[in-house]
Amino acid sequence: MSVTTTNLIQGPATLYKGAFGAAEPADSAVNTTPAASAWTDLGGTQDGVKLSVDQTYGELEVDQITLRVGSRLTKADFTIETSLAEATLENLSLSLNGGTSASGAGWKSFDPNVSSSATQPNYFAVLMDGYAPNQFNRRIIGRRMLNTDSSELAYTKDKQTLIPVKFAGHYVSASVTPFHIVDQLS
């Protein structure tokens, strides 16, 4: 088996947040920083940034054949997961899917959203820029995301304070896929 060493990838990714429906950079702009007017850099991360896709298949079977004769996709989930290393109130708010911020001379504050569970959450978009084969760039855009994992803000004597997030992707529409991946080729 031959190995194409230029297909091996190692290195960090940069994570951005945008509003749900934010103008996405064109595929041809995969090698540029997304527009600051639409996308906010979430700062440093720790333990990498990970895209996970989980697909569940139901089995098709018949009495006459002992093997599975086919499968049908019954559920699909995807997440973008990391630990935000910059423990700002803005990143805490993102991990809690919004809330209320205020600021004044020398201070700022945050209060979490405590609305009814029937209230529509504030979905957002996530853009992840990392490496692709041949030392080019890869961009992954999650179009309708929420943090669905627990949030924490831990202070310990010997460890850095991190804000762990697991952004779960959600259905957008029949004509818009929930995530998009583009690789730079030259």
Mean pLDDT value of segment 112-129? 88
145-161 burial code (b ≥16 CB/10 A, e <16): bbbeeebeeeeeeeeee
Q: Tell me if 19 sits within 8 A of 123, measured CB to CB.
A: no
Q: What is the pLDDT of residues 75-101, one digit of tens each?
A: 999 999 999 999 999 999 999 999 899
Assess if residue 110 is contained within a domain.
Answer: yes
pTM, two decimal places: 0.91
Residue 117 has pLDDT above 80, yes or no: no
Phi and psi, residue 68, nearest 5°: -60, 130
Question: What SS3 state is found at 184?
Answer: coil
pLDDT, averaged across the chain:
95
Is 5 contained in some domain? no
123 falls within a domain: yes
The verdict on residue 173 lying in a domain is yes
Instruction: Note down the domain range covering 42.
Output: 13-24+32-183
Residue 116 has pLDDT above 90, yes or no: no
* pLDDT of amino acid 118: 73
On whether residue 3 sits in a domain, the answer given is no
What's the total number of domains in the chain?
1
Q: Are 180 and 160 in contact (CB under 8 A)?
A: no
